[in-house]
Chains A and B, each alone.
Chain A
Amino acid sequence: MNNDRLIVECQNLVKHFGEICAVDDLSIGLREGETLGLLGPNGAGKTTAINMMIGLVQPTEGEVKIADGLAPKDREARNMIGVAPQSLSLYEDLNGEENLAFFGKLYGLRGSQLKDRVQWALDFAKLQDRRRHLVKTYSGGMKRRLNFACSLVHDPKIVLLDEPTVGVDPQSRNHIFDGVEQLQQNGLTVIYTTHYMEEAQRLCDRVAIIDHGKLLELDSVDHLIERYGGNSVVTGELAKASSGFELPGKLDGLSWRMESNEPIAEIAKLTNAGIDFTKLQIAQPDLESVFLSLTGRSLRD
């Protein structure tokens, strides 16, 4: 892994659809082997950005470079990239195995090599037992997993996952998380778009926060929270009304609320001072709070 080498480079990308400015001056550099999250609400321009990175959408302005300066449409670049589109892209009247084999063939896989990769992908998607069933008989989660696996069958170096957990059951969701972690271990570069901040927080080395087509911030999750997350919020119920001791924060009867950037230390201080709590809760800042402080809106509006 070489952290300095940019494997995907977006330079000042702009995309207009008529009046709508879907992506507005977006510059992102992707390091080899990292997992980058594109986090933003619906309509933020994530899919459009992805589509420009893979050469499906022509930018109004700006440029995308893959590896050492390849255009996304370049044959070599295409061989390096795998995409799992947000809208499922599968042949419903083919079975899982046939879908994988067809897409593998498009990338020039043949014979035993093709067979091995298809088997690998079926294992990856945990669809071995359903491989001979037509895709139209699959559940939403199974289709998502197959959609994911189809992007990997040709063994790409860069994988773009566009909202890979939309409309899936919790079990499939976990399969997908496991899958992403497996790719990370294998050193693949992953771009992961989502409007679920927990996913970005769990899976991504760095997160780009996007709203209205603009890149607001790009940093590691910890740094983002440190800079924009604000304090932790501690709420609790006192066992009895405190006498004499001046509590930090607000007290309303027995209900107590406090903001702090060192909540554990603060609470330790209070218990040492002999204050009893019947209930205590610490809410640490997360990407949701980051988004809120950056845009003044919640991610899920």
Chain B
Amino acid sequence: MGSIIDIARKDLKLLTRDKGAMFFLFAFPIMMGVFFGFIYQGMGKKSSGGIKIAIVDNDQSEMSGKFVEHLKANENLTVVELPLEQAKQKIRDKDLVGVVVVTPGFGENAGVLWSDQPAKIRIGKDPSRMAASAMLEGYVMESVGQLIPERLSDVNSLRGTIEKQRDQIKNDPDIPAPSKLVLSTMFGSMLTFFEDLNAVQEDQSNEEIQENAPSFQLAEIESFDAFAKQGPAVQDRIKSGWDISFPSAILWGVMGCASGFAISLVRERSRGTLMRLQTAPITNTQLIAGKGLACFTAILAVVGFMTVLGIALGMRPEQPLMLIISAMFIAFCYVGIMMAMSVLGNSEEAVGGAGWAINVILAMFGGGMIPLLFLPNFMQTFSNFSPVAWSILSLEGAIYRGFGFSQFLKPWGILAAIGIFGFAIGIFVLQRKKS
């Protein structure tokens, strides 16, 4: 054990003296985290189409049926009908972005402009996909809006209330920008639509009704966190954009560790120091364990450092202990990946290049660069194979997803398995090279 620690300490010392490595381990993740943190705070994202959601129709009325049809007709949504619990599970598994629940009584109120009680819809969201959730809200509103013509009795009064509603939304600080954009476009087009209608039904206009119209709400949307059985809603769970941006930023530091130590293993060979290590009275296992320990420690240091920085900026991990355990599984996984990377080539350049290529690909497919949601479907499928995706999920589980212990087991298990697999590849190739 003494030798293992000696080797690890030596490697960590070397790491701290490598300015390039230190940049990729610390400065680069900070840049990624801060950059995307600001982006998520602004949430200026556009859909690439195909937000996958589930719908639960608890009303089963004629109107709710029409609402579901409108949602399904929306090109930007892929809608499946599922029981609520199943839908929630799929959201946790990242198969779905959200679930729309039509509450009983919806049919009586939906599209009725003068009702005292607005139609109620609940939307279960994935807290990490705020941009998509906001858009989903917009589409739900749009579909509810499409119910209005079905009940249309007076075009002019409708027009007034819509104009009013549009202004109200425009001035509402609580509605996120993309929703506003979607809603105002929607209301704009609705107004032109009603204008045409108006021309046809000119003689039916009645100004008095417009004056007396009660305040109107298209539908009342209530959000809930699809991740939690109960507890605070999404908006309360995610304390800041940093909650979303830091997990992937942390992963960049972790990937830097893996490729850095993979290079250092090859460097031992190219600089001849491996020869001394191999002639010293230590076993190969101790040698590799020493490297692994150094890599493991460096990863924990990166995660710890980024977490502290994130907290300083406003990130609020809900489950610190789970965060630490997740960090350990991530570290273990990436030590294995480091071993596999180290046998990718014979020179430092080859291993360095191949290592980063692998990192970038895994990050791309795993949501480390662009959030998974905005990736094409085939890439989202591939994310199941990316340790980046599982690492981020386990971090998010501890930071804001409110994972229970059992929910951590899947990402942890997969990370451990990838780590063992990487180790096996590394050792296997090393043995073969030697003989």
Contact = CB atoms under 8 A, between A and B. Distances in A.
Interface of A: 54-56, 58, 75, 78-79, 81, 83, 85, 87-94, 98, 102-103, 105-108, 110, 134, 150
Contacts, number: 67
A106 B277 CA distance: 8
Contacts of A92: 271
Contacts of B13: 94, 98
Interface stretch (B279-287, B293-301, B305-313, B405-413): B279-287
A75 B278 CA distance: 11
A90 B3 contact: no
Contacts of B17: 93-94, 134
Secondary structure call for the B interface = helix
A85 B10 contact: no
B10 A150 contact: no
B275 A94 contact: no
Interface string B252-268: 00000000000000000
A89 B237 CA distance: 54
Given A89-B271, A90-B273, A105-B3, A55 B279 contact: yes
A91 B277 CA distance: 12
B435 A58 contact: yes
A75 B281 contact: yes
Interface of B: 2-3, 6-7, 10, 13-14, 17-18, 271-282, 435
A108 to B, nearest CB: 7
14 contacts: A55-B279, A78-B279, A83-B279, A89-B273, A89-B276, A91-B10, A91-B273, A92-B271, A94-B10, A105-B2, A106-B276, A107-B280, A108-B281, A150-B276
A145 B10 CA distance: 21
A32 B360 CA distance: 57
Nearest to A57: B434
A90 B274 CA distance: 10
A91 B14 contact: yes
A102 B10 contact: yes
Given A98-B13, A108-B281, A85 B6 contact: no
A86 B2 CA distance: 29
Contacts of B10: 91, 94, 98, 102
Contacts of A102: 6, 10
Contact of A85 (B14, B275, B281, B282): B275
B294 to A, nearest CB: 13
A56 B271 CA distance: 16
B395 to A, nearest CB: 32
Contacts of A78: 279-281
A93 B14 contact: yes
A202 B2 CA distance: 42
Contacts of B280: 78, 103, 106-107
Contacts of A105: 2-3, 6
Given A78-B280, A89-B276, A106 B271 contact: no
Contacts of A58: 435
A138 to B, nearest CB: 14
Contact of B281 (A87, A98, A107, A134): A107
A85 B276 contact: yes
A218 B155 CA distance: 113
Contacts of A90: 271-273
A90 B275 CA distance: 10
Given A93-B14, A94-B14, A98-B13, A88 B272 contact: yes
A226 to B, nearest CB: 37
Contact of A54 (B2, B3, B279): B279
A56 B278 contact: yes
B18 A93 contact: yes
A58 B431 CA distance: 13
A88 B274 CA distance: 11
Given A78-B279, A78-B280, A93-B17, A106 B273 contact: no
